[in-house]
Structure 1
Amino acid sequence: MLPIAPGIAAWGLMTGVAMVTSGMSDFQACLMSLIVFAGSSQLAAIPLISAGAPMWVILATGLCVNLRFVVFSLHLRPYLMHLPRWRRMLTGYLTADLSYVMFVQRFPEPGGDAARLKAQEAYLAGNCCMNWVSWVGASLLGVVLSNVIPSAWGLDFAGILALIGITCSMTNTRLRRVAAGVAGAAAVAAYALPLKLNILVAIAAAVAVCLLLEPPPPADTQGASGEAA
């Protein structure tokens, strides 16, 4: 995670500045960085908060943007079920996009002996802690330096590059590439909608298309699932 930390920090610094310049107090911005800890959700919510959007729109946008963490959690469940509940909850809070992607690439299959389980825990904990320190530390620094850092530095572009890197690393199947293309096209087509509702439109369109295109499970798998039930 260390080579990626500067990009995460630049994105976090820009988000900290954006929260304060949008009208949030320093306390609110610091609290959001610590509690929400989700860059894409924060960046989606900030303009809505600044525009005085209804609470349901802000919450729905944050929920839709963060739905991917439900998938992450389901995938990580077999790796973590031997841990106490409080450690699973803490891991869920700390795990972000890149720490998840790097973990499943390093350990494609869950389980193993005690030494392998320990190695999985150590690798995930190390990546998550490095990611958290890079993001939260830079966000808090951005809050403190919000009136000093000029927009000409282009930190927002560094954040965009970080998002592009995450997206490209995860679009490794044909269906995922289709989902990314549909989401991007829908977001652009619905850009004129108020309150950043084009984000919700993009997510809904991508999910709908993927549900239509995803092949059904094999018949023997369905039968086995029925017998197990």
Structure 2
Amino acid sequence: MNSARTLFVTGMIQIIPVAAAGIVDGLVFGILARQAGLGIAEALLFSLLVNAGSSQFAAVGLISQGIVGWPILVSAALLNARHLLYGLSLGPHFRGTPPWKLSLMAAGLNDETYALTSTYLASGQKPSLSFFAGASAVDYLIWNASTLAGAWFGAVFTETEAYGLDFAFVATFLGFLAINLLSPFHVKVAAGAAAVACLAYWGGGGTAAVIAGTLTAVVMGAVIRER
């Protein structure tokens, strides 16, 4: 029978290939946060406290356009709504776990830790909070270390236009979009959200475009059945 310490170390080791893929994202986020006007400490606190890549990118994108307050909260909530599904998926495996432990687990639940944990459970392994904790700790460390490195780079190299980083926001989100267009259904959702966002921008500016486009994508994804 595996001890808690052994499972913790196993989780630490197995998350490395998954979390390492986010190093570039962390670097880019740190650079974009600096480009949006955040300090190094603010960029790092962003990752330390939020720990959710997609919503962090959305937030600094809005901040760079001078949009603050409720639009950031709404977009972050919508982008992270998938975490509810992650929790519902893993929840049955952790019945009987004290609520305070589940709260700590929820804080470390993201795309990477969910993917690893669900694969671990699918292989026939028993649910282990120690395994999840080890994976979460390393994933958290890698994300924040790469954010700090990117923020430092962004502080040293302030002439972002000379390196093409003035286009980094657009390129980053186009990249996120491209790797998620996996079926004709995804293309339809993207096209529908883009069309609504353009109309909203024409009528109400950047804030309206972000909220309307995000809501459209969420509603289409929830209502329309993929074929």
Q: TM-score, normalized by length of structure 1? A: 0.71
Q: Pick the aligned partner of 2:219 from 208, 213, 218.
A: 208
**C-alpha distance in structure 2 between counterparts of 1:48 and 1:158, whole Å:** 14
Q: Is the 8 A contact 1:182 1:202 kept in 2?
A: no
Give the AA of the match of 1:189.
A
Q: Pick the aligned partner of 2:120 from 78, 81, 106.
A: 106
**C-alpha distance in structure 2 between counterparts of 1:198 and 1:158, whole Å:** 18
Report deviation, 1:62. 1.2
Q: Pick the aligned partner of 2:146 from 133, 138, 146.
A: 138
Counterpart residue number, 1:44: 58
Query: Secondary structure in 2 aligned to 1:117?
Result: coil
Q: Is the 8 A contact 1:182 1:206 kept in 2?
A: no
Report deviation, 1:79. 2.2
Matched, 1:27 2:41: yes
Q: Is the 8 A contact 2:35 2:64 kept in 1?
A: no
1:24-59 C-alpha deviation (Å, 9 max, x unpaired): 223322221111111110110112123222411111
Q: Is the 8 A contact 2:109 2:136 kept in 1?
A: yes
Report deviation, 1:2. 1.8
Query: Secondary structure in 2 aligned to 1:23?
Result: coil
**C-alpha distance in structure 2 between counterparts of 1:128 and 1:163, whole Å:** 26
Counterpart residue number, 2:126: 116
Give the AA of the match of 2:155.
N
Deviation larger for 4-13 or 182-191: 182-191
Q: Pick the aligned partner of 1:8 from 12, 18, 22.
A: 22
Q: Is the 8 A contact 2:33 2:43 kept in 1?
A: yes
Q: Is the 8 A contact 2:40 2:155 kept in 1?
A: no
Matches within 5 A, 1:70-219: 70-108=84-122, 116-118=126-128, 121-148=129-156, 152=163, 167=180, 178=185, 180-192=186-198, 193=201, 194-195=205-206, 197-214=208-225
Q: CA RMSD in A?
A: 3.2
Residues 18, 181 of structure 1: alpha-carbon distance in 2 compared, 3 angstrom cutoff = same
Alignment length, in residue pairs?
A: 201
Give the AA of the match of 1:105.
T
Report deviation, 1:146. 1.6
Residues 54, 142 of structure 1: alpha-carbon distance in 2 compared, 3 angstrom cutoff = closer
**C-alpha distance in structure 2 between counterparts of 1:148 and 1:161, whole Å:** 25
1:127-150 C-alpha deviation (Å, 9 max, x unpaired): 322221111111122222322358
Counterpart residue number, 1:225: none
Gaps of 5+ in 1: 216-229
Report deviation, 1:13. 1.2
**C-alpha distance in structure 1 between counterparts of 2:155 and 2:140, whole Å:** 24
**C-alpha distance in structure 2 between counterparts of 1:158 and 1:48, whole Å:** 14
1:79-119 C-alpha deviation (Å, 9 max, x unpaired): 2333222221111111111221232233249xx9xx8233x
Residues 159, 58 of structure 1: alpha-carbon distance in 2 compared, 3 angstrom cutoff = closer
Query: Secondary structure in 2 aligned to 1:186?
Result: helix
Deviation larger for 125-134 or 92-101: 125-134
Q: TM-score, normalized by length of structure 2? A: 0.72
